[in-house]
């Protein structure tokens, strides 16, 4: 199997991730922060260490500002719905995933206004359009760092600057870039950062992260046991407990810690360079195949390692099916939970066949994908 | 290490649980329900099989009525906050965990009334008191099946009967009993059932379950990508997608599946009988130690395998600390995220030392715990 669905979940993971998930379950599979016994303390220590390592990766000062969640969707819901109130206005883009668009649309019911800024047909955002959309009641800007459909990068640093100048909170969805691109919450004026643990951070599924800057007070969407202030019938105020109710996914977080450690050791530049090289090569070879339409900027300085294509007007799911069943190549077809992005790219009806490259892919994988597409091309014409 | 903190997380797990988590991560660690390739389909199949096996255990008709969540707290928040509206009244008990009490208290702000029915000093509920608390606007009854502090069982079948007669929805928190006690949602008139995957169901942490009976329409607390109806900007209506946004914890659920399969194979009666025998023996031996005060009914027909004690007026955390550091016995001290339960038992100031027995504990473990307490007893007097 050639796995080119890394935008959904990176696969495989570093061996250390598998080993630590198992080590945690077998040797310290207790509840962190609840009891004082050795196993519980070890679980708590590993979770704290994971917060520290995430801080290193994103230049976050205080490990307690890192909230562990179920997935990036969970993080985005907490950030968006915990922050906005009736009468507020939020700005986002047409390239967002449903994990951003659906919570924002749901908030319309309680009187939260939104503006969805359109990107161009390559998925590119004109940052000035964000500025133009600002109204007196704009409280939040939410953008992805890169499209999950065609990889187009958004200039989050420039948006962060605008947000700071205008006193607006900025939430970044880094689902497609965390662990691969340099993200510095201080330098980029990112107030909240939503991350999946199981994509570029190389951790297991069932792990999400939300960084919340000091001074931002979100409504907690859940209440429950936190292991702290147990005597109180209301949710405690301290971070991260305020937003972390119930038993966390300790083995998952322990695995995520190893993923982050792998990235810190390998170096984010090396990881990105490898993905860029493969992406560049893939796009170059794709361009040689007559029936292939490529979406997005076709420039690795303007996009991450997510490439969407179609073959003539063939149904994208049919092509994905052939790639899987005949060539043993895993891709994803359809709308990728981002309908507005497909409207932006002009692919709402057809969907796209998405190839997403990970750090463990090789040039040989790309060659096989190209070879398969050439065979399909030759038979379809 | 003698692990007697199974009420927090069961430890260890069956070997098959470890093996399947690893197998999933290494061999089909893709996104279920998102793409059509082999790995994604296998992930989806395992998740569906887990729903089916949970159905067998709890006599649930339709696997699609099983919602996977992050933990039981997540399930309880969805059930309670997704169900109740301003003007509604909810009844619960004084033995509940903060995962029930805190969401209910949080709902006071939007005008949801509550009645917390007091249990007696053994944690026992008089079911008639639930009946007496019913008002014309009572929409929901929420009770635990067994106290997480002292194990006291609540007669959920009788409450289910009352709830059905009165047309009130009944939500059961089976955090301490699922996988050990027979729970039949049909026979017991349970409309919603909240479960942790990592306790009696023997799965990994990061897994929770909510069963929602057909016809109950909860507000979704989160929106996002569901892999279904991707073209829509609003959350789809179909179950389980409506309540399952974002990538699930596939390895965790795959492990949970093995936990549930282990229970189905072993037989719930055998599991309960083993835990009952050890609990009965433990209580009998505890009663011989002069300085030990035991809380709860001290009767295995009236309690699950959770036993809370104190030694004279010693601080519970001090005793737990000695048990861990001197005797290598893991227990949990303090309030166990259930302050009202401790008020009910009269242990709000002191907390309790909680011993919770799991299926993998042996008589030898209990003997060692008793021996340790005898040493503490002899030195403390």
> Whole-angstrom Cα distance, residue B358 to residue B12?
9
Beta bridge partners of B92: B116
Among A1, A2, A8, A319, pick the best mutation site for testing chain B contact (most B Cβ within 10 A): A8
Residue B247: pLDDT above 90?
Answer: yes
Size of interface A-B (CB pairs under 8 A): 326
Distance CA A101, CA A112 (A): 13
Contact A221 B222 (CB under 8 A): yes
What pLDDT was estimated at residue A227? Answer: 83
B297 close to B147: Cβ distance less than 8 angstroms: no
pLDDT tens column, A330-366: 999 999 999 999 999 999 999 999 999 999 999 999 9
Question: Chain B residue closest to A221 (CA)?
Answer: B221
Residues facing residue A69 across a β-bridge = A208
Q: Is ipTM strictly over 0.90?
A: yes
Euclidean distance between CA atoms B85 and A165, whole angstroms: 40
* Structural domains present in chain A: 2-10+267-380 (3.90.1150.10), 15-266 (3.40.640.10)
pLDDT digits (tens, 9 = 90+) for A36-87: 899 999 999 999 999 999 999 999 999 999 999 999 999 999 999 999 999 9
Q: Is the pLDDT of residue B301 over 80?
A: yes
CB atoms closer than 10 angstroms to residue A264:
14
H-helix or E-strand spanning residue B333:
none
The pLDDT, as a whole number, for residue B35 is 75
Alpha helices (runs of H) in A28-126, residue ranges in sequence order: 38-58, 72-83, 98-107
Residue A33 above 80 pLDDT? no
Q: Are strands B306-311 and B292-294 parallel, antiparallel or unpaired?
A: antiparallel
Is 80 exceeded by the pLDDT of residue B362? Answer: yes
Cβ atoms B306, B354 nearer than 8 A = yes
CA B127 to mean position of chain CA atoms: 20
pLDDT attached to residue B36: 84
3-state SS, residue A355: strand
Residue A186 has pLDDT above 80, yes or no: yes
Radius of gyration of chain B (CA): 21
Query: Which of B12, B73, B207 is facing A245, going by the closest CB pair?
Result: B73
A105 contacts on B by Cβ (under 8 Å): 223, 233-234
Q: What is the pLDDT of residue A229?
A: 87
| Average pLDDT over every residue of B157-177 | 98
Nearest to B230 among A1, A26, A334 (CB): A334
The predicted structure's pLDDT at residue A136:
98
Beta strand segments in chain B, E = 2-3, 66-69, 89-93, 113-117, 138-144, 169-173, 192-196, 208-212, 292-294, 306-311, 329-330, 353-356
Q: Which among A72, A236, A223 has a CA at the least distance from the CA of B105?
A: A223
Half-sphere exposure of A71 (CA within 13 A, CB side): 27
pLDDT recorded at residue A306? 98
What is the rounded end-to-end Cα distance, in angstroms, of chain A? 27
* Residue B323 Cα to chain centre, angstroms: 25
Q: Rounded mean pLDDT of A259-271?
A: 98
Assign A228 a pLDDT band (cuts: 50, 70, 90).
confident
Interface touch A102/B224, C-beta < 8 Å: yes
pLDDT at res. A308: 98
Of B99, B224, B232, the CB nearest to A225: B99
**Helix, strand or coil for residue B146?**
strand
pLDDT over threshold 90, residue A205: yes
Answer with the residue of higher pLDDT: A322 or A228: A322
pLDDT at A133: 98
Torsion of Cα atoms, A249 then A252 then A257 then A258, to 10°: 160
Residues B205, B11: contact at Cβ < 8 Å?
A: no
DSSP symbols for A148-199: TTT-BB--HHHHHHHHHHHT-EEEEE-TTTBTTB---TTTTT-SEEEEESSS
Give the closest-approach CA distance of A165 to chain B in angstroms: 30
Query: Taking residues B43-58, what's their average pLDDT?
Result: 97
Token pair for residue B157? 């079948």
Look at residue B211 and give its three-state secondary structure: strand
A231-256: average pLDDT = 95
Residues A185 and A60: beta-carbon distance below 8 Å? yes
Residues of B in contact with A221 (CB under 8 A): 77, 221-222
Q: How far does chain B reach from its first CA to its final CA, in angstroms? A: 27
Residue A283 Cα, gap to closest chain B Cα (Å)? 22
* pLDDT beyond 80 at B34: no
Distance CA B88, CA B79 (A): 14
In angstroms, the CA B212 to CA A17 distance is 35
The residue among B203, B186, B212 whose CA lies nearest residue B261 is B203
Residues B115 and B103: beta-carbon distance below 8 Å: no
pLDDT at A215: 96
pLDDT at A381 over 90: no
Q: Which residue is closest to A339 within chain B, CA to CA?
A: B231
Output Rg (C-alpha) for chain A, integer angstroms. Answer: 21
Q: Is residue B22 helix, strand or coil?
A: helix
B332-355 average pLDDT score: 95
**Coil/strand/helix, residue A4:** coil
Instruction: State pLDDT tens for residues A129-164.
Output: 999 999 999 999 999 999 999 999 999 999 999 999
Q: Which two tokens stand for residue B31?
A: 């996104």
Q: Which of A326, A306, A336 is nearest to A376 (CA)?
A: A326
Predicted confidence at residue B37, as pLDDT, reads 92
In this prediction, residue B192 carries a pLDDT of 98
How large a percentage of chain B has pLDDT more than 70? 100
* Mean pLDDT for chain A overall: 97
Of B30, B196, B222, the CB nearest to A8: B30
Comparing CB atoms, the residue among B196, B222, B324 nearest residue A247 is B196
Residue B229: per-residue pLDDT: 87
The answer to whether the CB atoms of B39 and A330 lie below 8 A apart is yes
Query: Residue A240 CB: number of other CB atoms within 10 A?
Result: 21
Please give the pLDDT value at position A34.
74
Residues B245, A99: C-beta atoms closer than 8 Å: yes
Q: For A237, how many CA atoms within 13 A lie in the half-sphere containing its CB?
A: 4
pLDDT beyond 90 at A380: no
CA-to-CA dists, residue B292 to A91, A339, B329, B343, angstroms:
62, 64, 17, 19
Inter-chain CB proximity A233 and B102 less than 8 Å = yes
Which residue, among A18, A205, A331, A354, would best test binding to B if mutated, counting the most B CBs under 10 Å from its CB? A205
What's the order of all strands across the beta sheet hosting A292-294?
A292-294, A306-311, A353-356
A268-286 vs A363-380: helix crossing angle, rounded to 10: 20
Q: What is the pLDDT of residue A347?
A: 96
Give the tens place of pLDDT for each residue, B85-100: 999 999 999 999 999 9
Mean pLDDT of A262-284: 98
For range B263-272, the mean pLDDT: 98
């Amino acid at each position: 199997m050639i796995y080119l669905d890394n935008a959904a979940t990176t696969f495989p993971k570093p061996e250390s991730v598998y080993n630590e998930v198992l080590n945690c379950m077998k040797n310290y599979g207790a509840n962190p922060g609840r009891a004082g016994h050795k196993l519980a303390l070890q679980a708590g220590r590993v979770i704290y260490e994971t917060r520290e390592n995430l801080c290193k990766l994103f230049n976050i000062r205080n490990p307690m500002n890192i909230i562990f969640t179920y997935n990036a969707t969970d993080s985005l819901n907490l950030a968006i719905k915990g922050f906005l109130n009736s009468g507020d206005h939020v700005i986002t883009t047409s390239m967002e995933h449903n994990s951003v668009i659906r919570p924002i649309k749901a908030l319309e019911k309680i009187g939260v206004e939104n503006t969805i800024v359109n990107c161009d047909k390559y998925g590119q955002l004109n940052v000035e359009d964000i500025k133009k959309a600002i109204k007196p009641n704009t409280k939040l800007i939410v953008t992805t760092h890169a499209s999950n459909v065609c990889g187009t990068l958004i200039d989050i640093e420039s948006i962060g600057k605008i947000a700071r100048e205008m006193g607006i909170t900025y939430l970044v969805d880094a689902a497609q870039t965390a662990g691969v691109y340099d993200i510095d919450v201080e330098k980029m004026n990112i107030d909240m950062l939503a991350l999946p643990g199981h994509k570029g951070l190389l951790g297991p599924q069932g792990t999400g992260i939300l960084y919340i800057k000091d001074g931002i007070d979100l409504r907690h969407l859940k209440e429950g046991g936190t292991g702290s202030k147990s005597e109180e019938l209301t949710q405690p105020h301290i971070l991260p407990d305020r937003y972390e109710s119930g038993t966390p996914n300790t083995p998952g977080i322990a695995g995520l810690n190893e993923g982050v450690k792998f990235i810190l050791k390998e170096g984010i530049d090396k990881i990105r360079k490898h993905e860029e090289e493969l992406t560049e090569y893939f796009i170059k070879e794709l361009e040689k195949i007559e029936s292939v339409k490529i979406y997005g900027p076709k420039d690795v300085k303007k996009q991450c390692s997510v490439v969407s294509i179609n073959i003539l007007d063939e149904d994208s799911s049919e092509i994905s099916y052939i790639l899987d069943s005949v060539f043993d190549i895993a891709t994803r077809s359809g709308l990728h939970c981002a309908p507005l992005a497909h409207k932006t790219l002009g692919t709402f009806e057809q969907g796209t066949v998405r190839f997403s490259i990970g750090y463990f892919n090789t040039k040989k994988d790309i060659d096989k994908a190209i070879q398969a597409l050439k065979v399909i091309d030759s038979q379809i014409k």
